[in-house]
Amino acid sequence: MAVIEGIHHVTAFCDDPQENHDFFTNVLGLRFVKRTVRFDVPEKIYHLYYGDEMGTPGTIVTYFPMTNMPMEEGQLGKGMLRSVGLTIPPSSVEYWQGRFDDYSVEYTVEERFEETAIGFTDPDGLPYELVTGDSSIDPWTGDGDIPAEHGIRGMHNVTVHSADPAGTMDVLEVMGWEHSGEATHPQSGDRIRYRAPGTGPCGQVVDILIRPNAPRGRMGIGTYLHVAYGVEDTTHQDEVSDRLREHGYITTSRKDRDYFSSRYITEPGGSVFEYATMGPGFDIDQEPAEFGEELKVPEWLDVDLERIAELLPQLNTR
C-alpha cells in the first residue's frame, strides 16, 4: 500500500513579495529556493519557495504574492488551515524569543503535547509557530546570522481548523494516519492530533482544531491555500487517489508542477489537501548554488520569459 510520507509543503497568499522574502530569509533564516510563476497566470503572479538547502519535501513553504491581482484580505476561520509549525530544537526557545524581540515580532508561548510552541505571524498576519521537536533536517545557514544549533529544521505540523472534524479525521485515517493524542487550551481551543505512517524526515503531524462557534474562513491575502502531503511517485499517488475515491472522496486529475506532480481533494472540513510526489526536485533547472537567483519557468509553459520578468514586481534577493 502506498505510504504518505508526511507533509510535503504548504502554500499561502501574501501581498508584497519583497516583504515576504525578507521576512522568511532574514528573520526566519530559510533559504529562498525558487522563484517561478503561478502557471495559470504567469504574467501577474510569482510563486516563491522557501526551505532548506535543497528544498527537501517537508521543509517547503510557498507563496503566491497577489500584488498584481485584485484580492481582498482573507479571514481566518473554520474550513481552512489555521497555522503551520516549524521545528526548532528544545534548547532554542529562549534564542527565538530574543530574536523576535530584536525584530519586533510579536509572539506567544504555549505548552501542549509536551512541546513548546512560539506563535507569531508573517507580515500579512498569517499564523505560524516554532515548535520544539526532533528532526533529521539540517538547517539552512547560508550567509545568515542564525547559529546552526538554533536554525529551523523543516516542518513540524499543520493545524487544520475543521468545519467537520469527524470528516477531516476520516480522510486522515483513509490516508493511513493515526490518532495520537488530544489537548485542550482555554485560548487556542481543543486539538486532536494525528501522526503520519511514513518515514519522512519531518512534517509528521496534523492537528485538528476544534472551535465549533468560530466563523467560517474566507480565502484571501493572509490565508493558506492548501497543505500538500508527500507520496513517493506518481504510481503511489494514483494508489492514494484510488483509495480516497473508494471511500467516496473526489480527487482531481494529475497536475504537472514541474518540480513535483500533484493531485488534490477538498476534505469535508473545508481544507484543500494536495498529494505531491517527492521528485523530481528543484535542481532540474538550476544548480543548487544558484537557487532563487533567476526567474524560472518550465519548458512546457510557452511564454516570453523576458516579458514576464518585466511585468512582475521587482524582487531583490541579494
CATH of the domain at 279: 3.10.180.10
**pLDDT score for 272:** 98
Q: Across all residues in the chain, what is the average pLDDT?
A: 95
Domain membership of residue 318 (yes or no) is no
Question: Do residues 88 and 96 make contact, with C-beta atoms less than 8 angstroms apart?
Answer: yes
- Nearest partner of 235 among 197, 259, 258, 263, judged by Cα: 263
pLDDT category at 200 given cuts 50, 70, 90 is confident
In this predicted structure, the answer to whether residue 188 has a pLDDT above a threshold of 80 is no
Domain membership of residue 96 (yes or no) is yes
Domain membership of residue 317 (yes or no) is no
> Is the bond preceding 280 in cis, omega lying within 30 degrees of 0?
yes
**pLDDT score for 185:** 78
Alpha carbon of 278 to those of 6, 235, 266: distances in Å? 11, 12, 21
Domain membership of residue 316 (yes or no) is no
Polymer length of the chain: 318
- Alpha-carbon Rg for the chain in angstroms: 18
The whole-number average pLDDT for the span 113-135 is: 97
pTM above 0.85, yes or no: yes
Lay out the sheet containing 127-132: strands in order across: 108-112, 115-121, 127-132, 80-88, 155-161, 205-210, 189-195, 178-185
**pLDDT score for 176:** 95
Question: Do residues 148 and 141 make contact, with C-beta atoms less than 8 angstroms apart?
Answer: yes
In this predicted structure, the answer to whether residue 133 has a pLDDT above a threshold of 90 is yes
Domain membership of residue 55 (yes or no) is yes
Helices 165-174 + 234-246 axis angle, to 10 = 130
Question: Do residues 178 and 118 make contact, with C-beta atoms less than 8 angstroms apart?
Answer: no
- φ and ψ of 107, to 5 deg: -150, 160
Q: Which residues pair with 10 in a beta bridge?
A: 61, 227
Domain membership of residue 203 (yes or no) is yes
Question: Do residues 129 and 209 make contact, with C-beta atoms less than 8 angstroms apart?
Answer: no
Enter the DSSP assignment of 153. -
In this predicted structure, the answer to whether residue 90 has a pLDDT above a threshold of 90 is yes
Domain membership of residue 279 (yes or no) is yes
pLDDT category at 54 given cuts 50, 70, 90 is very high
In this predicted structure, the answer to whether residue 195 has a pLDDT above a threshold of 80 is yes
Query: What tens digit of pLDDT does each residue of 223-238 get?
Result: 999 999 999 999 999 9
In this predicted structure, the answer to whether residue 75 has a pLDDT above a threshold of 90 is yes
Sign of CA dihedral 56, 61, 62, 65: negative
Domain membership of residue 1 (yes or no) is no
Query: What tens digit of pLDDT does each residue of 10-50 get?
Result: 999 999 999 999 999 999 999 999 999 999 888 889 999 99
The domain containing residue 290 runs over which residues? 6-311
Alpha carbon of 167 to those of 173, 212, 270: distances in Å? 10, 14, 9
- Nearest partner of 231 among 193, 265, 258, 198, judged by Cα: 198
Sign of CA dihedral 233, 239, 245, 247: negative
**Helix/strand/coil for 63:** strand
Number of domains comprising the chain: 1
In this predicted structure, the answer to whether residue 199 has a pLDDT above a threshold of 80 is no
Contacts of 241 (CB under 8 A, 6+ apart): 251, 263, 275
Contacts of 86 (CB under 8 A, 6+ apart): 28, 128, 129, 130, 131, 152, 153, 154, 155, 156
Question: Do residues 132 and 86 make contact, with C-beta atoms less than 8 angstroms apart?
Answer: no
Contacts of 104 (CB under 8 A, 6+ apart): none
Spatial distance between the Cα atoms of 161 and 157, rounded to a whole number of angstroms: 13
